[in-house]
Structure 1
Amino acid sequence: MIIDQLKSINKNILQGCFLSGLGILALAGAQQKALASEFPSRDIEVIVPNGPGGANDLTVRSLESGLESALGVNVITVNQPASGGIVAAVRLAETDPSGHTLYFNSQSLITLSKTNDFLDLEKFQPVAQVVQDASAIAVNSNAPYNTLAELIDYGHSHPGNLKIATNGKNGLWHYSALTFAKAADLDLQYIPYSSGGAAMSRALASGEVDISANSPSELKPLVEAGRIKLLAIQSDSRHAIFPEIPTAVEQGIDAEFPVWRGVFTAAGTDEDMLKELSNSIKETYDSKAFQTFLDNSGMPGRFKPYDEFTEFFEAQKNMYLELQ
């Protein structure tokens, strides 16, 4: 009898704990929904992992005014370039998922995680993409190859001889070079220029390297000066700056390398908040002011809402895992 009574008491205790747990979860969910309905309730901060004047900084500042109108609060840009941008990334990763702290970056976020194991990309929630540029495959104007096919044929017949400029291991343009080499089955020498695309372009023009795969806007001055020539664009469409240059895909080489920029927030942010942020960014993206900024900067715009950007970001993480 006593044993049966104890069993009944334990059962009631367990049921009570279970129901209490459900109540707590329901209350937390209700509180989260209430917060979402009042969003935003304070100023929004956008962390930029670069100093003032760079492409990321200029893009965010061009979004500020439109976002303030759409969301009804102040939007404050905070530059945190310390430690190559890792400080900014860690700050976003550790923030509460309230939707009031945003972060703006390119796939440099992914490459940061490859050199900093403690940076967990699962803590980043994509909100919206606003830019998608590409890399261009360029050679010296005196090179004996005038098409992508001729360059690849030369590389196959001279394995290990061709030098391609990069901005250092795990740098953005290092991966554009790897993407091209893998797609074309080329054995290349990778020559690092830590200061970036402009230095890579100059090295190509001077003959220090045979190939460069970096931003069309960085290559444009030397193309116009007749010192280098473009053979392909690493994109799914031709580039606005060089519409006459075919893509690598058009020439039979699947070497797409999208160079994107977008807005992130902390993982765990309520879906209603994500929708509101994404919709507000789309409204701003479509504005005449932001489209004028894109035209003047030479950056091709491409908008992806949070669900499409999330799917794209996952695919990008997997692609970079394969490129070693």
Structure 2
Amino acid sequence: MKSLLKIAGAALAFTIGFGGQSFAADYPTKDIRMVIPWGAGGGTDGIVRKLSTIAEKEIGQSVYAENIEGGISATGVMQVMKARPDGYTVGSLTYDSVVTVPWQGLLPTYKLEKLKLIARVTSEPDAILVSSNAPYKSVADLIAAAKANPGTIKVAIQNTGSRLHLAMLQFQEKTGTEFKLIAYPGGAAPQKEAILSKEVDVVATSMGDFSALIEGGDVRGLVEFSDSRNPTFPDVPTAKEEGVDLQIGSFIVLAAPANTPDDVVAKIEASYKSALESSEFQEWVSKVGVSPNWLGTDEVTEWADGTQKTLFDQMQTLVDQGVIKK
């Protein structure tokens, strides 16, 4: 009897193991859901949709985007964390997903260990942009105006406590200025509405997020928080050139639920890498002010851990100095 049970158990284990291998070998057999944890119309949305449209040709099934807003990206990312680890739900993470939400401890159940990071696909510095009819012709003009009228110049950031909020707090500290920072939750789209409707004259965002408005002449860049000029917008000076020691920006990382099979992750990784390197994407992204910046599955987790530690330390210093509250 024991022998029969052993044989039956071995057969079951073989069937399960073979089934798993067969599933991975056949993957994908249906459409793949790509969760974008920000509203439609923003920079992250545009980049992920474009990349996914190209990647689906390689992977062999449609990749459909689903925008799930809320919680500084946590609402959408949590759905990825809770999804079945079968490769049919993938998510896009940004700075807030990797840094802001974990640091603030907004959700006790939100842990990056519940995800398997697939790849980092882009990175882009933050910047200060102004309305085309704003009186500030340079970042020096903006700084001078802010010093002359502390707390009166309205600057649209995104979420309170977000990367852009942190960037502006550091900008104020390093330049001895004070602005009226106004939060527009939900990504870049509400910021665009704010500057087009003349609610604000200044936004802290990225050049890529506002590329269409820049090209249309609605806004212009004053400074980018980088040490090298953006090849898409070479006329915009860097913070280093303006004598401001500040480098900060966003990124996009693709992730799947933890325990997603390695060979399934490898297929997703290969498809998106091919898409990123394609002439179609390279030509498109060169016009939106974002830098393709690939880190594959073997490297991205270590990079994310290191980025977290560095920024957590920086934010804790600002807490200790009383600049921000945790």
* TM-score, normalised via structure 1 length: 0.69
The residue correspondences of 1:1-324 to structure 2 (distance < 5 A) are 34=21, 38=25, 40-43=27-30, 44-81=32-69, 85-110=73-98, 111-113=100-102, 114=104, 115-138=106-129, 142-143=135-136, 146=138, 163=153, 165=155, 166-182=157-173, 184=174, 186=176, 188-194=178-184, 196-198=190-192, 201=195, 212-216=203-207, 218=210, 221=213, 230=222, 232-321=223-312, 322-323=314-315, 324=324
Quick check: 1:129–1:309 contact (8 Å CA) kept in 2? yes
Residue type of the partner of 1:214? Answer: T
Deviation at 1:287, TM superposition (A): 1.5
Q: Which has the larger radius of gyration?
A: 1
**Displacement after TM superposition at 1:42 (Å):** 3.3
CA distance in 1, matches of 2:298, 2:193: 37
SS of 2:168's partner is: helix
CA 1:162–1:35 in 2, change beyond 3 Å: closer, same or farther? farther
Residues paired across the two proteins, number: 292
The Cα shift of 1:92 comes to 0.8
Task: Give 1:214 deviation, angstroms.
Answer: 2.0
Gaps of 5+ in 1: 1-22
- Please tell me the residue identity of whatever aligns with 2:135: N
Check whether the contact 1:176–1:214 (CA below 8 A) recurs between aligned residues.
Answer: no
| 8 A contact 1:181–1:187 mirrored in 2 | yes
Q: Does structure 2 retain, via aligned residues, the 8 Å contact 1:223–1:229? A: no
Structure 1 range deviating more: 96-105 or 187-196:
187-196
Greater shift, 102-111 or 314-323, is seen at: 314-323
Identity %: 20
Seen in structure 2, the aligned counterparts of structure 1 residues 228 and 78 have a Cα distance that, compared at 3 Å, is closer
SS at match of 2:122: strand
Unaligned runs of 5+ in 2: 1-9, 316-323
SS at match of 1:169: coil
Contact 1:179 1:256 (8 Å CA) reproduced: no
Partners of 1:69 and 1:178 in 2: CA distance: 43
For residue 281 of structure 2, give the secondary structure of its aligned residue in structure 1: helix
CA distance in 1, matches of 2:215, 2:274: 36
Q: 1:15: which partner in 2?
A: none
Whichever residue aligns with residue 257 of structure 1, its letter is: I
Q: Give the distance between the partners of 2:167 and 2:229, measured in 1 at CA.
A: 17
SS class of match (2:236) = coil
